A and B are shown apart, each in its own frame.
Chain A
Amino acid sequence: MINQTTYDELRQIAGRYPQARSGLLPMLHLVQSVEGRVTPEGIEACAEILDISAAEVSGVATFYTMYKRKPVGDFHVGVCTNTLCAVMGGDAIFERLKDHLDVGNDETTDVRPQDKASVTLEHIECNAACDYAPVVMVNWEFMDNQTPESATQLVDDLRAGREVHSTRGPRLCTWREAERVLAGFPDDLADEGPSAGKASLAGLEIARQKGWTAP
């Protein structure tokens, strides 16, 4: 439900920009954080605040793949199947997860009696971590260098409510919590995780070993 607090926060987002409509993308992230998807009520709220039609907001919401019209689970698991990750094993990982979770692309698992959380599985496009291929994203956090075995363990842990950390970031939050950060409301986890993963430092390590620097 879009309550007064959410209305206020939506207005606050619009207020960050020289022209309010620029806030629409983060506003829709906030709607997803509150509603679990882009709902008709969320669209109406954005339209009202920005003084544009609901059709205009819908037109935007349906253009971008991060906006979902079906409810998303507690954890959005995205398997990169763009060429490089696919070749490096992303296709095998995605097939294994579909089989293991018994869901298709863009579908969410049922919450079984033993589960604490649900998982939505989707194949995604290049997420700019090709040096860590094959890559899986959970709620848009990096899970680098995956295998079919590590990925099945990952989703099992998520469903069971066990603590899981990004390979280059903090303990995984829920999808709704992640959407709130994307709306521009920080969660104070910026200091978690390393500066860089191993691959990011590959060239720098060689330069250090050889004593190479810029002039």
Chain B
Amino acid sequence: MTLTPVLTDNWDAPRSWTLASYEGRGGYDALKKALTMAPDDLITAVKDSGLRGRGGAGFPTGMKWSFIPQDNPNPKYLVVNADESEPGTCKDIPLMMASPHTLIEGVIISSFAIRANTAFIYVRGEVLHVVRRLQRAVQEAYLAGHLGKDIHGSGYDLDLVIHAGAGAYICGEETALLDSLEGRRGQPRLRPPFPAVAGLYASPTVINNVESIASVPSIIKNGADWFSSMGTEKSKGYVIYSLSGHVAKPGQYEAPLGITLRKLIDLGGGMREGHELKFWTPGGSSTPLLTAAHLDVPLDYEAVGAAGSMLGTRALQIFDETTCVVRAVLRWTEFYKHESCGKCTPCREGTWWLVQTLAKLEKGLYDEADGEAALDLLLDQCDNILGRSFCALGDGATSPISSSIEHFRAEYIAHLTHGGCPFDPALSAAFAAPLVTQGARA
């Protein structure tokens, strides 16, 4: 299987973020084609392509669009979730930095399909230059007549607002994002009603991830069959895989769904020199950890699910044998505790208790004889959060814990035997001396 640059294809073009560069490579051709099509035919094309949501859940995008009740008298809205914050996930930010027009063209086509006249890009606030590039691209698109009134004489009007968030992981959850976009604390809403029926301002709303919407122009331009010729049986198309951590060449790799981690790491020249893979996340910290035993799992929705994890956002965080899994999991757990919005008890209180128990284990403060009981306590706490929380944040918080205990139970106990962490964190750093030097010093 080869790499298939589509979304990333213009990232090495000079001034790729400008309208001139984007249009010079055929940008906005898909929009012109879309405006000659019936909106329902656009929805059908996206359905037929097999595109599934790239923000983690993998829900079919075309189906989401078809849930919008067109007889509802309220305005329809498109909201792009650009609140990329899941630990390990780093694909949407470089996309918006290098080619904001890919996203904006997708927004216009998608809004036209669902018959929305107002769209929003909710981008996390902590990425100043990405906000600048989006603001400029929207300005350029208005001046070129791609946005505004009567777009290219079609009679279709669309306004697009770039909206910067203010630092809250929970706002990546689509209903929390809507509350935040309404100027409130970002807390998830009870469903039903689903956003398709009562979303922003209680009106029909589609919320899609950046990469999902950015994929739409290529589907309209090249056809649903072209898109579905890539990927596996139920996971169609290309995606961006984000490789980070202890690999020789971290970065963004765009490939058809179903490529393996082994292939991706090999393409990038392997692990960092002299080290071997210990554990990894397939789709961010909320997806259960996998190990070297899973290197040949096809990275699509089904196979990663069958391996006991989730494809998520293809945020492949790679850790080698120098990394303490307990340290890694404790830090993620502290993150979930910090980001819990406080709305529901299992998550608000549960993540706090998880940190207490994990921190005590990490410091080796339990007697060795009580080690198994401490792990059971941790798993019991997880059991009281998983499936009992208001949204997926609570579920996600338990993933690294339960999966790491499954794969590395002995390493937890070793912290008690050792009276603390048996690893030297200095060896894990990117700026650690190469192995040869470490050997020579020892």
Binding site for B on A (CB under 8 A): 16-19, 21-26, 28-29, 50, 59-60, 63-67, 78, 81-84, 86-89, 91-92, 124-134, 137, 139-142, 145, 147-148, 166, 168-170, 178, 181-184, 186-187, 189-191, 193, 195-208, 210, 212-215
Contact = CB atoms under 8 A, between A and B. Distances in A.
Contacts of A200: 8, 11, 94, 97-98, 251-252
Interface of B: 2-6, 8-9, 11-18, 75, 84-90, 92-94, 97-99, 118, 124-129, 131-133, 135-136, 139, 161-169, 180-186, 201, 226, 229-230, 238, 241-246, 249-255, 267-268, 285, 315, 317, 319, 323, 327-329, 331-332, 335, 338-339, 341, 425-426, 428-432
B129 A83 contact: no
Contacts of B94: 196-197, 200
Contacts of B229: 215
Given A22-B183, A88-B429, A207-B2, A195 B12 contact: yes
Contacts of A195: 11-17, 97-99
A50 B161 CA distance: 19
A93 B166 CA distance: 25
Given A81-B331, A201-B12, A181 B251 contact: no
A200 to B, nearest CB: 4
A212 B15 contact: no
13 contacts: A60-B183, A64-B168, A87-B319, A126-B89, A140-B127, A169-B129, A196-B97, A199-B250, A200-B97, A204-B9, A206-B267, A213-B4, A215-B226
Contacts of A88: 245-246, 428-430
A134 B132 contact: no
Quick one: which of A129, A197, A214 has the most chain B CB within 10 A? A214
A196 B98 CA distance: 6
B2 A87 contact: no
B181 A198 contact: no
B335 A125 contact: yes
A202 B87 contact: no
Contacts of A24: 183-184
The 3 closest A-B pairs by CB, nearest first: A202-B251, A203-B253, A24-B183
A82 B332 CA distance: 7
Nearest to B329: A83
B176 to A, nearest CB: 10
B203 to A, nearest CB: 9
A125 B268 contact: no
Given A82-B331, A181-B131, A195-B97, A131 B186 contact: no
A208 to B, nearest CB: 8
Given A17-B161, A19-B201, A126-B88, A134 B430 contact: yes
Contact of A21 (B17, B92, B182): B182
Given A82-B335, A196-B97, A65 B168 contact: yes
B86 A202 contact: no
Given A83-B87, A213-B5, A26 B163 contact: yes
A134 B246 CA distance: 12
Nearest to B316: A130
Nearest to B89: A128
A141 B241 CA distance: 23
Nearest to B88: A130
A33 to B, nearest CB: 12
Contacts of A190: 17, 129, 132-133, 135-136
Contact of B251 (A87, A91, A166, A201): A201
B218 to A, nearest CB: 8
Quick one: which of B124, B169, B327, B431 has the most chain A CB within 10 A? B431
A63 B192 CA distance: 25
B198 to A, nearest CB: 15
Contacts of B15: 191, 195
Contacts of B317: 83-84, 130
B129 A142 contact: yes
Contacts of A50: 183
Contact of A201 (B11, B181, B186): B11
A168 B135 CA distance: 17
B166 A67 contact: yes
A215 B250 CA distance: 25
A150 B124 CA distance: 26
A202 B431 CA distance: 20
Contacts of B242: 130-131
Nearest to B136: A190
B129 A193 contact: yes
Contact of B8 (A126, A132, A204): A204
A119 B241 CA distance: 35
